[in-house]
Structure 1
Amino acid sequence: MYSKEESQRLKREFWIDFADKYPRKWVLYDTKIKDFSFKFYVDNKKAQVLIDIEHRNDDKRIVYFEKLESLKHILEDDFVKDLVFEKNFVLENGKTISRVWVEKTDISVSNKKYWEEIFEFFHEKMHNIEMFYFEYGDYIRDLEINT
């Protein structure tokens, strides 16, 4: 068991090593849609690549989610398999968002032997989500086009 400081140092080292191995600018928050972002998440049980839709207006949040859902077969067949789609995902703070994600389990950020596996997972899945977004982003961004 690591102290809080050791755990923070290890996570910082993890992200620095990831950035060194894959030195590129990820889309992440630069989607051109307010409160629509791509995220990496890792802890001592799982690694996830996420699409979070956190729009304050629930109607808009749901429209964006349904647009993604309408492209689910394309997204899964051509880009990323085994995605989970959740229209009303409740965060720990009680906020409801929409989330689409893929995860890898049975790994640990605290164990360096898993880092390469996590790095590869992050790179492959996020790259593919970005490629999907580059192709279908105009449709997703345009709220005038119905799902």
Structure 2
Amino acid sequence: MYSREEAKKLKEKFWTGFGQFMALVPGEDGQKINWINYKTGIRHLFFRMDADNKNAHIYIEIAHPDEGIRLLMFEQFQTYRTLLHAELDEEWEWDATYYDAYGKPTSRIGKRLDTRVSVFRQEDWPDLIAFFKPRMMALDAFWSTARYGFDLFK
């Protein structure tokens, strides 16, 4: 078992390495992208990756504090569902009301890695990278087309 500080350092090491690896990958439109902290340009809309000692997740999170606007944004994503899944080449789970670790209501569209992996085992890092990289690139390709449909939420 790792101390809290050791666990924090291992996670930082993974995400720093992943960020350096992905820095070589241009975005769909040819621009440089901070893949770890992807900027959608829409407040309260995030593309997130998470890994812990058991799982890895990638997801679109709609965290608008106004429930009505959050659900409108989720509905807007539903109109792009076919395009999203075509870019991802897989189906993702859709949850209009998801409660985060702090009990805050959000909406999520995401995918969990089906095999058990741990960010704390360096031998699992290639599997984590193989999970995150193509999906983040597909999200970027999707967003380069779909983002204009979300301008009303800016």
Scaled by the length of structure 1, what TM-score is found?
0.89
State the one-letter code of the partner of 2:109: V
- Within the candidate set 29, 34, 51, 1:42 is matched to 51
Aligned residues: 143
Per the alignment, residue 72 of structure 1 pairs with 81
SS in 1 for 2:110: strand
Flag structure 2 segments of 5+ consecutive residues without an equivalent: 24-32
Please say if residues 38 and 47 of structure 2, whose CA atoms lie closer than 8 Å, have aligned partners that are also in contact.
yes
Deviations 1:67-91 (A, max 9, x none): 1112112211232413111000011
Paired residue type of 1:18: F
In 2 relative to 1, CA 59–27 (structure 1 residues): closer, same or farther, beyond 3 Å? Answer: farther
Identity fraction in percent? 26
Q: Give the Cα separation in 2 of the matches to 1:101 and 1:33.
A: 18
Name the SS of the counterpart of 1:142 in structure 2: helix
Equivalent residue, structure 2, for 1:114: 124
Q: In the alignment, which residue of structure 1 is the partner of 2:10?
A: 10
Give unpaired runs (5+ residues) of structure 1: none
The secondary structure found in structure 2 opposite 1:110 is coil
CA contact (8 A) 1:53 1:98 kept: yes
CA RMSD of aligned residues (A): 1.7
Q: Distance in 2 between matches of 1:55 and 1:112?
A: 35
Q: Quick one: distance in 2 between partners of 1:28 and 1:38?
A: 8
Contact 1:80 1:125 in 2 (8 A): no
Would you identify which runs of 4 or more consecutive aligned residues in structure 1 move more than 4 Å?
A: none
